[in-house]
Structure 1
């Protein structure tokens, strides 16, 4: 199956945004070793894709809420069919079908962005100023646009350069090998960090899933994908890494907004413990100790009359000694 339609779509969005920034007056030439018009075009490619995928993101959040609401029932099934994995999986699939919840919906936005990532990877990989003019004009590019993008840089590192670029590739791009490796290396580390943080942010708010399949997906998103980027990041063009980092930052902001606007429901496990059993840390979070809220005033202590010990049985009564009178003044 040909992916040309993806390459045409990605190229059209990039070129449209580049023309817009050019019309606004963003410098086409390098400023501080950076061609900001092309950098902004990649950044707003992310914005365009995320706006298109926003309805899918909303469905993802709803699915996650539905899955979280089913956690008590999932726990019951796990206890009921402990040791019978086949029956457990069957019962859980029936539960998801009945409640119209999809465990894979959480990964859907990421899967839908894979074609965009592959398209941008292919388009940027082709940027070579020594290509023939017939190859420069495919996917809707003009020769001038292709040459401009081929020489576009981020702090003197070409957008089509990679951490693993060979000396021959760097020579064709007219790039400094050390600069490319430093810029690409820093961006790869930022890409790995932000990828980890996007998954960690959601797990911290919603908690680990009880469903083994869901938990496996969470672990894959949290640890597997960032670890794989440590290796695959060496073959990503700098422009693709800029896209990935921008997408991660967009996701972090979007998730933070959604989690504040629509906080996850509180499950039985997350219910607040009684005041008598709270630890000092819990008290701090709920307003005690160093918390923000004011602690409840202590209950007033009722005054009680002092107890007077009575005489022991069989003891002789004693008379109170007379108070000594003050001596009379003489004279």
Structure 2
């Protein structure tokens, strides 16, 4: 991982040098924008490099949607025979040239970058020896500038969980650090959830159980991980994560609207309604709408019953004898007709 650490530090230093010539050298709004923008453009650099893989990810997801009818046929054909089903599914993937893991590949490729930045920021500590300051090609002024760099008066090397003793070494206020870190963690959780929700809303829940499990993990598992671990990340790392999510949201929006999934593919998935449901499941109607529908049905039934009763009453009056007329004997009437005949 030494090469990763060195590469990440060099990209940060490059962008710091660029922005140091653009923005004022002094702190503005309690922020050293050269270092904050260096982290932001580290993300942009990584995303530009990974963009072709992101496009392949979208194509792979479309291909997975396109083969869903064949997947359903295999599931019905080999129901109860899991081993044979897995073999046939793998064979189908090979025939259609589909890689189900491609959907997670961009995220996995960013993990080394995330770990590298985490390591570099943890390396930035006051009181470090001159040799350690220059470990990844940093000059001593650059190292000290990064240690002192802040976002709204909170050092980018500080964490929500930093002890009072550690914060005292970098002359940071504990309350300020906790407020800034907590807001960034909340943004990190929200944007992580929204990036996955955006994709599922457009493509729907996959009908394949394994793929749906991956979708559920991405939608709920990753945000839960950020919730439980974000408090231990340096503020600089959280800036990286939030920026990465924001770029992902914009990138996905552009790709999904420019190249929407085909109707034949989305027809084989369950639409996103806040959670996975069985395909074809009717959405229950509740609340005031249900009461209104019930009242209309009852009123219509009452009107139909009243109309039927009125018709029956009218028919009864038509068949009844007029006042003063002799009642007709059916039997006699029938005999007279026979005699006359």
Smaller-chain TM-score bracket: 0.7 to 0.9
**Partner Cα distance (2:75, 2:264) in 1:** 17
Q: What is the aligned partner in structure 1 of residue 49 from structure 2?
A: 52
The alpha-carbon deviation at position 265 of structure 1 amounts to 0.9
5 Å-filtered alignment, 1:24-103, equals 24=22, 26-103=23-100
- How much does 1:228 deviate? 1.2
Asked whether 1:200 is paired with 2:202, we answer no
Is 1:130 the equivalent of 2:138? no
| C-alpha distance in 1 between matches for 2:84 and 2:160 | 49
Count of residue correspondences: 270
User: Distance in 1 between the 2:123 and 2:175 partners?
Assistant: 22
Q: What corresponds to 1:327 in structure 2?
A: none
Aligned equivalent of 2:258, options 255, 258, 261: 261
TM-score normalised by the chain length of structure 2 = 0.77
- 1:23 aligned to which of 17, 21, 24: 21
Instruction: Tell me the residue number matched to 1:307.
Output: none
Q: Would you say 1:236 and 2:233 are equivalent positions?
A: yes
* TM superposition shift of 1:83: 2.2
The TM-score normalised by the length of structure 1 is 0.79
Which one of the candidate residues 199, 207, 213 is aligned to 2:210? Answer: 213
- Verify the 8 A CA contact 2:189 2:223 in the aligned structure 1: yes
- Give the C-alpha shift of residue 28 in structure 1: 2.5
> Residue 214 of structure 1: CA displacement?
1.1
User: Equivalents in 2 of 1:101, 1:255: separation in Å?
Assistant: 20
Instruction: Write the distance in 2 (CA, Å) between the matches of 1:28 and 1:54.
Output: 33
Instruction: Give the distance between the partners of 1:41 and 1:118, measured in 2 at CA.
Output: 17
CA distance in 1, matches of 2:27, 2:140: 19
In the alignment, what sits opposite 2:110?
A: 113
In 2, the alpha carbon distance for the partners of 1:270 and 1:158 equals 50
Change (3 A) 1:268 1:48: closer
CA–CA separation in structure 2 for the residues paired with 1:180 and 1:265: 47
Aligned residue number for residue 164 of structure 2: 167
What SS does structure 1 have at the residue aligned with 2:26?
Answer: coil
Please say if residues 65 and 265 of structure 2, whose CA atoms lie closer than 8 Å, have aligned partners that are also in contact. Answer: no
Q: Matched residues in 1 for 2:266 and 2:126: separation?
A: 60
The SS at the match of 1:106 is helix
Structure 1 equivalent of residue 290 of structure 2: none
Distance 1:118 1:38 in 2: 18
1:11 corresponds, among 9, 12, 15, to 9
Structure 1: distance between partners of 2:78 and 2:159 = 51
CA shift at 1:129, angstroms?
A: 2.2
TM-align CA RMSD: 1.6
Mean CA deviation greater in 152-161 or 261-270? 261-270
Distance change (3 Å), C-alpha of 1:101 and 1:269:
closer
CA shift for structure 1 position 132:
1.4
CA shift digits 1:241-278 (9 cap, x unpaired): 0000000000000000000110001127739xxxxxxx
Q: Which residue of structure 1 aligns with residue 330 of structure 2?
A: none
In terms of mean alpha carbon deviation, does 254-263 or 82-91 score higher? Answer: 82-91
Unpaired segments of 5 or more residues in structure 2? 269-282, 286-341
Residues 269 and 163 (structure 1), Cα distance of their counterparts in 2 relative to 1, 3 Å cut: closer
1:223 and 2:224 are equivalent in the alignment = no
Per-residue CA deviations over 1:255-313 (Å, capped at 9, x if unaligned) read 00000110001127739xxxxxxx9x9xxxxxxxxxxxxxxxxxxxxxxxxxxxxxxxx
